């Protein structure tokens, strides 16, 4: 996927890059969608576990995002860049994380259980921050991103644009 910016990679192009025969690729991944889901699950696997552990401590969600989740995302910036910038995978990825993290936020935070709209706003806002950050050719350094998010979330939205 790192070689195919706008079009879904073909099995032939995957074979060329990986050196694995098309027959063997098909044995593990009958369709390209299966490759996408395997890639998504691999990226999300460690992130989800660590985020769930952080949320279970009742640490505020924004602090969890800035202090715990952002460093994990930065470590996976190359893979996340692909997920956020390839049109053939971006929608699947964002729908996947939207549903997964909505479930986690509701599971670990009582306020999110009673105020569904608040949860939706929170998820969409955090996803937008991540999407902009990871869509950059070279994402800004982690400390600058954390500082930016703290600054943006500590001020009224009208100040962001001035």
The CATH number that applies at residue 44 is 1.10.357
- Report how far residue 33's alpha carbon sits from residue 35's, in angstroms, rounded to the nearest whole number: 5
The answer to whether position 21 is within a domain reads no
Rounded (5°) CA angle 130-50-137: 25
Distance of CA 90 to CAs 50, 79, 80, 96, 146, Å?
Answer: 23, 12, 10, 10, 23
Greatest Cα pair distance in the chain = 57
Residue 17 within any structural domain of the chain: no
102 assigned to some structural domain: yes
pLDDT digits (tens, 9 = 90+) for 28-64: 888 888 888 888 888 888 788 888 888 888 778 888 8
Q: Are 125 and 138 in contact (CB under 8 A)?
A: no
Q: pLDDT value at position 152?
A: 87
- What is the per-residue pLDDT for 161? 56
- Could you tell me the mean pLDDT of each successive run of 10 residues in the chain, 162 residues long? 75 86 89 86 83 81 88 92 91 88 75 72 90 95 95 75 56
State in Å, rounded, how far the first CA of the chain is from the last one: 38
How far is it, in rounded angstroms, from Cα 19 to Cα 152? 46
Is residue 3 a part of any domain in this protein?
A: no
- 46: containing domain: 32-160
4 domain residue, yes or no: no
- Number of separate domains in the chain: 1
Judge whether 67 lies within some domain.
Answer: yes
The structure's pTM equals: 0.80
Helix (H) or strand (E) holding 144: helix 142-153
For the chain, give the number of residues: 162
Asked if residue 112 belongs to a domain, the reply is: yes
Cβ–Cβ under 8 Å, residues 105 and 119: yes
Structure tokens at 101: 């993290």
Cβ atoms 104, 50 nearer than 8 A: no
Is residue 110 in a domain?
A: yes
Q: What is the pLDDT of residue 107?
A: 77
């Amino acid at each position: 996927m790192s070689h195919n910016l706008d079009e879904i990679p073909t099995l032939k192009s995957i074979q060329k890059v990986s050196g694995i025969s098309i027959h063997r690729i098909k044995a593990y991944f009958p369709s390209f969608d299966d490759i996408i889901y395997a890639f998504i699950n691999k990226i999300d696997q460690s992130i989800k576990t660590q985020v769930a552990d952080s949320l279970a401590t009742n640490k505020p969600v924004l602090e969890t995002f800035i202090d715990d989740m952002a460093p994990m995302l930065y470590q996976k910036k190359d893979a996340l860049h692909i997920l956020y910038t390839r049109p053939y995978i971006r929608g699947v990825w964002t729908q996947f994380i939207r549903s997964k993290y909505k479930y986690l936020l509701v599971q670990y935070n009582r306020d999110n259980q009673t105020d569904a709209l608040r949860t939706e706003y929170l998820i969409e806002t955090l996803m937008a921050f991540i999407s902009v950050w990871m869509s950059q050719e070279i994402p800004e350094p982690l400390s600058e991103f954390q500082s930016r998010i703290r600054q943006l979330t500590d001020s009224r939205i009208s100040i962001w644009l001035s």
